[in-house]
Amino acid sequence: MARILLVPGFWLGAWAWEEVAEQLRALGDDVTALTLPGLDPQDSDRLSATLESQARAIVDAAGDSTVLVVHSGAGASGYLATDLAPERFSRVIYADTVPFPHGFVLHPALGDAPDFLLPATWAEVEAMGNSLEGLDESTLARFRERAVSVPAGVAGRPVTLGDSTARLKIPTTVICCSFPSELVQRLRDGGEEPMFQELRNLDAEYLDLPTGHWPMWSKPVELAEMIHQAATR
């Protein structure tokens, strides 16, 4: 049994993990899914959320020896959480995301806008590099209906890491979906894509789950099994 904390990426709340959480609980794991600050539509002050407030929410939700699973944009707040409290985490699993490096801005084109909306068309979403492979029309409709804009303090501000290297010692798994693991490692080593550079500092394992950018919907059973296997090593 593993204690697992599931954190969704941009525009999503804890609801996005429902199928994966169900599968993990059937495997015997203790599972919590977290809606990050700024992504709860009922929160009247949500646009004040920052990467730091999200990271602290992750730390607060983690117990001892927690396996942290982050998806997409949550790679930034999740990695920052491991910087703030590395002792809380026994492993970090990046699901079609990476640990974003110091100074990286997730959406630099945001400018002075207060938040980052889900693009108006799915073609625009895919043009950002987010594959929709494996998602049917009903899933896309639910995504559109429940999507919440991402505050500027999250989407448009740089990741700020501390000087401690303790986070680098946390066992790390990268589940590669949109890009195969061979390409992710080539981008890591090539030095031309800043997003992948922090991986150089981590002794991570790379697993392949070929699908689109939202594997919790396109392949929930397979993703749950991968998470369980990595979490219980």
Q: What are the tens digits of pLDDT across the range 128-187?
A: 999 999 999 999 999 999 999 999 999 999 999 999 999 999 999 999 999 999 999 999
> What distance, in Å, lies between the first and last C-alpha atoms of the chain?
10
| pLDDT computed for residue 14 by the predictor | 98
Phi and psi for 104 in degrees, rounded to 5?
Answer: -75, 140
Q: What is the mean pLDDT of residues 120-135?
A: 97
> What are the residue boundaries of the structural domains of the chain, listed by start?
3-231
Q: How confident is the model at residue 191 (pLDDT cuts 50, 70, 90)?
A: confident
Q: How confident is the model at residue 51 (pLDDT cuts 50, 70, 90)?
A: very high
Beta-ladder partners of 198: none
Predicted confidence (pLDDT) per residue in 24-49, tens digit: 999 999 999 999 999 999 999 999 99
The CATH H-level superfamily of 3-231 is Alpha/Beta hydrolase fold, catalytic domain (3.40.50.1820)
* pLDDT at 233 exceeding the cut of 90: no
List the structure tokens of 201: 């500092």
